[in-house]
Amino acid sequence: MLRRSAFSRTTIRPVTSSWLTVAILLSALRVSEATEFSALEIGRPVQDGAVNLGTYTVRLPPGQWTTGGLTTTTRTETGGSKPLVFKFQKAVFVRLEDRRLTGLIHLSSLAERSPGRQQWWDDPCNAPPLKDAVFKEDLSTRMFMPSCVAVTRPVRTASWGNASPEYRDAKEWLSHHDIDLPEQLFRGSVIKYDIGNYLHMWAYVPAAAPRADQSESAQQFQAWMRSNASVIAEGISAGKAIELTPLNP
């Protein structure tokens, strides 16, 4: 089961003025040619394969990607000197070839940076959605800035559409357009927390049965997830576009 709340537990931490300066500079380093989240439309191809999500620019792997689902949610937290309001942006992108699903990527982030506070749970590798992981690695290099990459057991395509609104929208769109769906999918997660923000990617590719989790394709997918965990971390640290590497089914 995919649950956003599992990665949303919060701990308020102060941030120094130098961090605030860095956060503002990084917020400005986005690719203007990428499609803004507000301009994405379900069923429309992603122009140039690049999107601006929150304060990040992500270039999807090569291929024709279509927006399958979109959600904007708001969460208010109390307990401090004043309520904190967080706006989340979530999007599902699907890659199609000959009316077949060959890849699906789910991205989520805050709509805007909150540089004055640290809001992150410090152990995402042990979040409930990853309890059945066949591989996971804590990539954290800094206190209160956790990072994790993981690959779970293959999931049945019939179940992932029940996770959240953007997944359901994507599944409905695929069904409406008679897209051929595989029986099961490899599923991987990369989450990287940043100064006042985070980027979380779930990635899916078709998994051939039986015992897909022990196949060569499973090892290739695991290697792809690890590689892109580094790509995401480097892009966030350098304040540059995150260019995901080719994703093979």
**At 227, which amino acid appears?**
S
**Is 235 within a domain?**
yes
Q: Specify the pLDDT at position 210.
A: 59
Instruction: Grade residue 235 by pLDDT with cuts at 50, 70 and 90.
Output: very high
**Is 249 within a domain?**
no
**Is 178 within a domain?**
yes
**Contact between 53 and 70 (Cβ < 8 Å):** no
Q: Specify the pLDDT at position 145.
A: 81
From the list 192, 185, 194, the residue with the least C-alpha distance to 212 is 185
Question: What are the Cα distances from residue 172, in Å, to 32, 90, 104, 160, 165?
Answer: 31, 17, 14, 12, 10
Containing 66, the helix (H) or strand (E) segment is strand 65-77
Question: How confident is the model over 47-76, as a mean pLDDT?
Answer: 94
Q: Specify the pLDDT at position 11.
A: 35
Specify the higher pLDDT residue, 39 or 248: 39
Q: Specify the pLDDT at position 7.
A: 33
Instruction: Grade residue 33 by pLDDT with cuts at 50, 70 and 90.
Output: confident
**Is 248 within a domain?**
no
pTM: 0.84
Domain count, the chain: 1
Instruction: Grade residue 35 by pLDDT with cuts at 50, 70 and 90.
Output: very high
Specify the higher pLDDT residue, 29 or 101: 101
Domain that holds residue 130: 4-243
Q: Which residue is it, tokens 């994703």?
A: 247
